[in-house]
Amino acid sequence: MENLKFTQEQKEVPKYGANIELRNLWVRHSQKASGEVFGTEGSDISDSSISEAGHERANKFGKEVEGKKSFIKSYVSKVDRTSETGESILEGYLEEGEAKVFNERYRKELNAAIGNKEWLDLYNSKFAENKNRILLEKGLQPEDFGSLSPDEQEKIAETAEEPIMREWLDSPDSDLAKAYDKNEAASLFAPLFNDHTLRIVEKLKSGSNLDLLHNTHKTATEAFLTSGVLINEAGNAVSTLDELGGSLQILGNWESIVKTDENGKKEVEVRVNGNVYGVSKDRLSELLSIEK
């Protein structure tokens, strides 16, 4: 019997946007040399560089990133410690891989969310009050804070700041929440999330796999994460820090991941503290539409 040859027409893969693996790493900067949150005049966040231990910790973070990609690009805020953190992370990342590194780039959305003067004064005052109380409980005076080691300052500062973050983001009737609506803060970050999680894959060559490293601050992303844009496994929108396990600690991080198939269809997920979330495109659109 004559053999019959069957041929199947191969579908041409698009030049851009297909078979992409893109991971966004959103990372808070490493340990500061000074644990102070604000500058000396209290009108902006501290401009402290990262400590020697901060460099080491960031390098270790980079080494331990799993599933390293072929390409990586770093993004930073206006404060130098995010660049310092990114450089140390990249050093560690490249020790365990051979990724091509693109030039670092500034993005304003990675700046700390400092709201308006009323909110900033409230936040600063509450932080100083909490920090001084902790120092007194340890038998120390407020002026002793600067003489402590970076590790000791970090522990006190993180403990002092966490309840303020929860008050702002989890208690809509609080004075902090009334002074600076978290939806406004979320809307400032939303364009970068949208660009780097949903839109950028359409411009990448098919078959690309890369990591985008975003070096940022506490307050920059938490409002967005608790704005209702994340959907948990039960189908409910996330609206509080408590649901996520708290704000970003030093080198705390989360991921947004997008993969496309051969037709360019996207699958998107967000990972925070070991939990996987979907993304509400309707809620994201609402945030993007808020007037800046």
Predicted confidence at residue 13, as pLDDT, reads 78
- H helix intervals, 142-280: 150-170, 175-179, 182-193, 222-225, 241-244
Q: What percent of the chain has pLDDT over 90?
A: 90
Q: What would the pLDDT profile of 28-39 be if each residue is shown by its tens digit?
A: 999 999 999 987
CA quadruple 69, 75, 81, 83: dihedral sign? positive
Predicted confidence at residue 219, as pLDDT, reads 97
Predicted confidence at residue 2, as pLDDT, reads 41
Q: In what order do the strands lie in the sheet with 253-260?
A: 100-106, 71-76, 209-216, 21-28, 253-260, 266-272, 275-279, 230-231
Q: Are strands 266-272 and 253-260 parallel, antiparallel or unpaired?
A: antiparallel
pLDDT at residue 213 above 60? yes
Predicted confidence at residue 7, as pLDDT, reads 38
Least confident piece of the model among 3-7, 18-22, 52-56, 230-234: 3-7
Predicted confidence at residue 42, as pLDDT, reads 56
Q: What percent of the chain has pLDDT over 70?
A: 95
Q: What would the pLDDT profile of 68-80 be if each residue is shown by its tens digit?
A: 999 999 999 999 9
Q: Hey, where are the domains in the chain?
A: 21-114+182-289
64 SS3 class: helix
Which pLDDT band, with edges at 50, 70 and 90, does 3 fall under?
Answer: very low
Q: Which residue type does 160 have?
A: A
Question: Which pTM was predicted?
Answer: 0.93
Q: What would the pLDDT profile of 92-136 be if each residue is shown by its tens digit?
A: 999 977 899 999 999 999 999 988 999 999 999 999 999 999 999
Q: Quick one: average pLDDT of 264-282?
A: 97
Side-chain half-sphere CA neighbours of 246 within 13 A: 10
**Regarding the domain delimited by 21-114+182-289, which CATH topology (the fold level of the hierarchy) does it fall under?**
Rossmann fold (3.40.50)
Q: What would the pLDDT profile of 137-182 be if each residue is shown by its tens digit?
A: 999 999 999 999 999 999 999 999 999 999 999 999 999 999 999 9
